[in-house]
Amino acid sequence: MKKAFALGLATAAFLALVRFETDVFTSNASAILRSGPWMAALIFAHNSLAATAVAAGMSFYIALIDALPEKFKRREVLVKERARLFSAAFAALIILNSLFVEGGLSAFNFQLIHLWLPVAAVEALGLYLAALYPLQRKITAANMAKVYATFLIGAILETALILAHVHG
C-alpha cells in the first residue's frame, strides 16, 4: 500500500506540473512558434512531461490494484488483461482531445490536416507505449527511452511541418 500511496502522490504532482506547464505552453504558443530551433526542444519537453505523467498514472493504477483485496479486483484486472486495447483507446482519446482543443489542429486550416496526421500518429504511438509498459509491468529505463525517442521524432516532425507551413 505504501508503493501505491507514493505513486499516487507522484501522479498527483505530475498532473499538477503538466497542468501548469500546459497553461504556460499554450499561452506562449506564438513565442514558441517563433523560437526556431528551440521549438523542437520545447515540444519534446512538453510531450515528454505528459508521457511521464501517463506512465506514473498507469503505474499507480497497477500498484493500487495489487493493494486491493481479491474481492475488489474482478473488474479492475480487465485493464491489465487487455492492456494493449486499453492503451490504444487511451492514446486515441488523448490525441483526439488534443487535436480539437484551442490551439490544436482547430487553430490551423483543416485543408492541412493531412500534414498533421503523421505527427498525431507518432504521438499516439508514444502515448500508447507510455500507457502499455506500466500496465504490462515492463516499465524500464530502456522502454521509457523508447517512449521518449518516439516523442523526439514527433517533435522534430512537428517542428518541420510548422516551419514549412510558416515559411512555405
Give residue 137's pLDDT.
Answer: 92
92 pLDDT band, cuts 50/70/90, is: very high
Task: Show the cell assigned to 41.
Answer: 526542444
158: Cβ contacts below 8 Å, ≥ 6 apart: 40, 43, 119
The SS3 call for residue 5 is helix
Q: Is the pLDDT of residue 104 over 90?
A: no
- pLDDT exceeds 70 at position 121: yes
Terminal C-alpha separation, the chain: 55
129 in Cβ contact with 143 (< 8 Å): yes
- Counting the structural domains of the chain, the total is 1
Residue 146 has pLDDT above 90, yes or no: yes
Q: Which domain holds residue 129?
A: 2-167
Residues near 47 by beta carbon (within 8 Å), at least 6 away in sequence? 123, 126, 151, 154, 155
Are 14 and 52 within 8 A, CB to CB?
yes
Using 50, 70 and 90 to split pLDDT, how confident is the model at 111?
low
pTM: 0.84
pLDDT in tens, 2-59: 888 888 888 898 889 888 888 887 788 777 777 777 888 888 998 999 899 999 999 9
